[in-house]
Each structure stands twice: as structure tokens, then as C-alpha cells.
Structure 1
Amino acid sequence: MASPLVIVGMSGGVDSSVAAWSLLQQGYEVQGLFMSNWDEDEDGYCTAAQDYQDARSVCESIGIPLHKVSFAGEYRERVFAYFLDEYRAGRTPNPDVLCNREIKFGVCFDYARRLGAEWVATGHYARVTHGDRPRLLKAVDGEKDQSYFLHAMPASALSRTLFPIGDRHKDEIRRIARDLTLPVFDKKDSTGICFIGERPFAEFLSHYLPAQPGDIETPQGEKLGRHQGLMFYTLGQRQGLRIGGKADATEAPWYVARKDLARNVLIAVQGHDHEALLSDSLIASQLTWVAGAPPAQQFECTAKVRYRQPDQPCAVSVRPDGSVEVRFTTPQRAVTPGQYAVFYAGEECLGGGVIESIQRESGTESTSRDKTDLAAY
């Protein structure tokens, strides 16, 4: 009886390389698939060419074939266009979630299935169980867990996906790669958004969206300085404000508290835990539930409002339109519209949605969901 075919998404990194080797040890027939999503590299920041060569070297080393495919067109249409739209609206998007849903476990998953794959695997740090329905679980290595980015995977893909390294720690993965003398055993982990690479973020974004400088003010309207464009800042940010000392203020650092899109003004406050940076609840929309539906109309769980954040106890209420209101036990700092709120019951990821607005203790609502084009200011 032939072994089931698994096609592994090969990034040219150590995690996917060990994932492919691990599946071979389990008796699967394994093939690699290298996917490229970005064609432009006029500045030399993109590492796709080197990553492909690394993936090819690894596949030769462990004795499996490697396919190569480009989804650059689909990526621009389904991920990058959304990315730009959100920044135009003054929000802070997370394209990695969309890339997983639309590309890696969307068009790329379908491509692998057309190649004959019974299973698709990646080097993500997460776990999945296949029983009455697929369940997405956190990785054993809590420092590397990537379930936050995978919560929006289509259930049809999750049911045919394997995460071979989700039950291992990163240091063990490095040790295995070194013992196997894989050519990428000491390769640096990739960071940042794939199409930006290591280039300065503001430099990249300014190629696509016109910067609209404006004033930085206190919540009371006192002018503090100038910003380079609202799209370059996120809530809770400290670096890059260039606010000098004020005679009537303390020496505490300044942080971004809010964006006033109507006036193109950045609101800043002093102190890491200033009340203007805290919120008690949020509204999230565009919900994706791993089980296909929420656990109940009202339920308690934990949530993350950013990657690597410790789980925060909360109560979730599903609204008639399918969005949710999330009330936290403890006020949360710098909850950012455009990012994702992802829900957990212990180790199990329940799903998540896009943060639309936040509610502060004072009862005022703050949102960046204003689709006025910044170029009009």
C-alpha cells in the first residue's frame, strides 16, 4: 500500500526543513513546495531567491523533490490591496493572518491538492487534532506559538493540514537540523512582513501611499510637534514621535494614544500606562470560528489582541450581525483597530476577528474605521 503523499511548504528556513524530515521519518511520501508571493525586488531587500536555493539544497539533502510556484498576483489582490486600504484608513493591519488564510492555506493549499497531496504540512509552531472535527491548538513551545496567525484558516484546509514541529521546542529543532547537517541549521529566522523584508517600513509604505504630515497634540489640543503621516504610527508607539521637552511637563516618555483622521492629528500622552492608552472592551468583526460557529452567544474565555501577548480573561457576547463585544477582566493597553482579537479555551484556539473599535473606561469609543482617504487631507 502506497504511503500517503504530504506536500510540505518549504520556506528555505530551518522549521520547514525539519518538518519535511520529520514526516519522512513517520513514513509519509514527502514532496516540497516553494511558494513566492512578491515579484518586485528592485532594492535587493527580498530574500526569495536565496530562500529558494536554500529550500532546494535541503530537499536534495533529505532526498525529496521540490516544486516551485508563484502566487504574486493572488497575493497583491487578496492581501496587499487590503494592507494598503487599511493603512489609508489609519488602521494597523496584520497581513500575516490574511496570507495564511488566502494564500498559504487557500490557493497554495488547493495547488498542492491538485498535485496529488493527501496532506499539506508547514513548519508553523501550532498543533492540530483530527477527530470529529479539526481542532487548532497552541504549540508546545509557548514562545514560538503561531496559532494567533492561523486562527482564520479555512476548516477544509485545517482538516487536511499537519504541523509536524508543533510538539517540539525551537532549540530542539535547531539541534535536529545541526545533527542532520542540514544546510540551513544556523540560518537566521525571518522577521517582519514578507514583502517588506528588512527595509525601513516608512520607506516602503511611502512608495504606495502619499505621506500626509500633520500636528501632534495632547488630548486637550495643545500642540506638541509634527508627525510624518498617520499611517506610520500605531497605538502605544513610543519611538519616532520626536517630541521635545516641555516646560510644564514631566520627563516621562510620550506615546501614541489616538489618531484623529478627520483633522489628520496624532494624539499623544505621557506615561506608559496613561488612562488614554487603556480600554475595557472592544468590538470585533469579520469573525472566523474554527468550529464553524461560536461556542455560545455569550461565553467566557481568554483572548490575545496582539501576537505574543499573554492570554487575557474576557467575556464575549455575539451580536446579531455576527460581530462580538469583548469585555476584559483587566483593562488592556494599546488595543489597536485593524489588528486581530483571537480567542482561546485553554490550549484550543476558538477563532478570532478584526478589532473595529475600543471602549475606554470613561465610556468614550475610539475607532479608526474611517474610510476617508488620507490623501484628501
Structure 2
Amino acid sequence: MKKVFVALSGGVDSAVSAHILKKDGWDVTGVFIRVWQPDFLPCSQDEEERAAMRVAAHLGIPFKTLDLSKEYKEEVVDVMISEYKKGRTPNPDVLCNESIKFGGFLDYALNEGAEKIATGHHAQVIEKKLVRGADASKDQAYFLWKLTEKELSHTLMPIGHMSKDEVRKYAEENNLPSAYKPDSQGLCFIGHVDMKTFLLNFIETSNGDVLNESGEVVGTHDGSELVTLGQRGGFTITKKEEMGNVHYVVGKDISKNTITVSENFNNEENLTSSLTLTDSNIENGKYVCEIRYHGEKIECEVQDDVVTLSKPVLMAPGQSLVAYERDVCVGGGIVT
């Protein structure tokens, strides 16, 4: 019997994944992954682990706990904080998938004799290629762009062909303990947390000026590291003539601790149709690109890590650009 280790979080997606695999004849082991938790936030890991144990007991499968606290702190949290300090906007879910679920967890599973790992991602692995999930509103392929054939060849995503409603219905019909458990949202593994609040525990910031596009001071902010390009609000407008209007961040200067805002998000002077990538795994060619999770699909051409978009965009350095051929994710890169 083929052995698979399922990343069991206690949520409905991973529970249904484990149930499907057991029904299909796999030798299933549930694994709860423990990660570093900040001491200034309520810790829900013990509760989540108990929920995962209840799922494993219900399914009659072995249950293990894998502690990746050190790897999570060093390879996800510390990297994320370092990027924000530089004025960039990283995607922690991309880091988490690469280092934890398809890094430490995959290595552990293979060393323990498993042929595959499985996760509850809303995405699909078809012929060792990463494909969008069937439920467009829940599709998570964007966060998985760093996966290569090496990882995908050892990965199953059993619910990728299902809608979220179908997952819930399946869990209810099979009386899974997590059938009615709310979806988890927020920072990978940690859950819902205000990013500004989180970062203020690690980054020493100071108040600075908010400028309009003419360079005139129109307000104040709590720290340029805490805002990202395209962000609406998150600063204080003090100039009377500008108060009450909606402003967007269109520029920032970490060295001067200033941010620039505009009422016109789509001002061509703030946009670009050419982006340079680092850490890219996209081959040269023409694709459809997304510059943020569930963002607009934009035609693009990639040539030696330079991406030319069919329309100009406002893109924050550090964010992920992900390329697709139809529904197949062909890779991505980090915007410089």
C-alpha cells in the first residue's frame, strides 16, 4: 500500500483530503506542523493540534507532530521582517509554502518512508504540473509558484478539483469533526493578525511626512516600512484641502522616511509596464500574469527576467508576479 503523509491542520480542507486518500486506498498518516508563535498574540496551536488529532482519530489513521518552529522563524518570519525593513512587500505565504510545507514537511515525510505528501490546497497537480484549483474564488496556485517538478512529483492535492461548497458538503456527509470549522485566514499558520501590529513588534519606526505628487507635505505616517504601494489609507492627511478625499500610496522613500500619495491611483506617471524579476523560474515566452493574489489577469512577455506587461501597473517591490499558460502555473518571480 502506498504511503502518504497529509499535512493535517484540523481544518476542513485537510480533513477531506485525508478522507479521500484513505478511501482511495492510500496508507495515510496525519501530520500536524507546529511553528514559531509570537508571544504577543494568543496561541491557538494547541487547540488546532487537538482538532487535527480528532480528525485523525475519526479516520483511524496514525497521527504525528512535526516541529518546524526554528525553520518557520528563520525562513519565513525573519525573511519577511527583513524585507519590510528594506521597504519591500514580501508574500509570507509564498515563503511558507516553499520552506515549510514543501520544504521541511516534504523532507520529513520522504525520510519517514512516505512516497507522497498531501495538502488541502485549492490547486491541482496534473502530470507533475501545477494547475489552478477548480474553485476560482479559492484557487491558491498563486502562492505555490516556487514549486518545481521535484516537489510536485511527490505532492497530492486531493480537493483541488472541488469547490469549497463541495468540500463542506463532503465533510458533512462523512461526519468529519471539522465539517463546520471556519476557514483559516491571515498569516500562514499564525492566522488573522494585523500586519502593521505584527511588524511594530520587530521594526523600530518613526513618524514621517506624507507628500502629494508635487512634493508638498499633506500629512503624517507611522513609518514608511509599514505601507505598501497601492495601499489605500494607513496614514493621516492633515492638509485641510485634502482631508476627506481617498488617497493611495504611489511611492515611498525609506531613506527619507516619506511616502507619496495620490487621489489618482491610475496616474500613468506612477505606473510601469516593465518589471524586472529576481528568483524567477519562468522560461522566456508569452503568458498571462497576475501581480497579486486574485488580481487582474494581464497578458505579458518574459525575456531574461524582464517582464513586459500589456498594460501599466503599480507594483510594489518584493511582491510576486506569477505566470500562467491557460490554467497551468508556469512559474513566477519577485519584483525588484
TM-score by length of 1: 0.85
Q: Deviations over 1:20-49 (max 9, x none)?
A: 0011111111111110111444531x3211
Q: Which runs of 5+ in 2 are unaligned?
A: none
**What amino acid is aligned across from residue 340 of structure 1 in structure 2?**
S
TM-superposed CA distance for 1:158, in Å, is 1.1
**What amino acid is aligned across from residue 114 of structure 2 in structure 1?**
A
Contact 1:137–1:348 (CA<8 Å) still a contact in 2? yes
Contact 1:216–1:225 (CA<8 Å) still a contact in 2? yes
Contact 2:80–2:92 (CA<8 Å) still a contact in 1? yes
- Which residue, out of 200, 208, 211, partners 1:214? 208
- What corresponds to 1:302 in structure 2? 288
- What corresponds to 2:188 in structure 1? 194
SS state at 2:316 partner: coil
Q: Distance in 1 between matches of 2:203 and 2:255?
A: 18
Give aligned pairs, total.
Answer: 336
* Cα gap change, 1:73 to 1:250, in 2 (>3 Å): closer
SS state at 2:19 partner: helix
**What amino acid is aligned across from residue 329 of structure 1 in structure 2?**
S
- Which residue, out of 339, 343, 346, partners 2:323? 343
TM-superposed CA distance for 1:153, in Å, is 1.7
**What amino acid is aligned across from residue 248 of structure 2 in structure 1?**
Y
* Cα gap change, 1:142 to 1:325, in 2 (>3 Å): same
Q: Distance in 1 between matches of 2:194 and 2:93?
A: 18
- Which residue, out of 116, 141, 145, partners 2:139? 145
- Which residue, out of 7, 13, 17, partners 1:15? 13
- What corresponds to 1:326 in structure 2? 307
SS state at 1:316 partner: strand
SS state at 2:72 partner: helix
TM-superposed CA distance for 1:166, in Å, is 0.6
- What corresponds to 2:86 in structure 1? 89
Contact 1:343–1:349 (CA<8 Å) still a contact in 2? yes
TM-superposed CA distance for 1:88, in Å, is 0.7
Q: Distance in 1 between matches of 2:189 and 2:132?
A: 26
- Which residue, out of 153, 157, 162, partners 1:168? 162
**Alpha carbon RMSD of aligned pairs, Å?**
1.7
Q: Distance in 2 between matches of 1:180 and 1:278?
A: 50
Percent identity over paired residues: 38
* Cα gap change, 1:142 to 1:224, in 2 (>3 Å): same
Contact 1:125–1:163 (CA<8 Å) still a contact in 2? yes
TM-superposed CA distance for 1:120, in Å, is 0.8
TM-superposed CA distance for 1:329, in Å, is 1.0
Contact 1:257–1:276 (CA<8 Å) still a contact in 2? no
SS state at 1:30 partner: strand
SS state at 1:24 partner: helix
TM-superposed CA distance for 1:92, in Å, is 0.8
TM-superposed CA distance for 1:276, in Å, is 4.2
Contact 2:92–2:187 (CA<8 Å) still a contact in 1? yes
Q: Deviations over 1:337-359 (max 9, x none)?
A: 11100110111111011011xxx
SS state at 1:287 partner: coil
TM-superposed CA distance for 1:244, in Å, is 4.4
SS state at 2:260 partner: strand
**What amino acid is aligned across from residue 227 of structure 1 in structure 2?**
H
Would you say 1:32 and 2:30 are equivalent positions?
yes
Q: Which runs of 5+ in 1 are unaligned?
A: 319-323, 357-377
Q: Distance in 1 between matches of 2:316 and 2:40?
A: 32
TM-score by length of 2: 0.95
Q: Deviations over 1:82-109 (max 9, x none)?
A: 1111011011111111111111111110
Contact 1:124–1:163 (CA<8 Å) still a contact in 2? yes
Q: Distance in 1 between matches of 2:122 and 2:15?
A: 13
**What amino acid is aligned across from residue 298 of structure 2 in structure 1?**
Q
Would you say 1:77 and 2:58 are equivalent positions?
no
Q: Distance in 1 between matches of 2:197 and 2:243?
A: 32
TM-superposed CA distance for 1:251, in Å, is 5.6
Contact 1:124–1:166 (CA<8 Å) still a contact in 2? yes
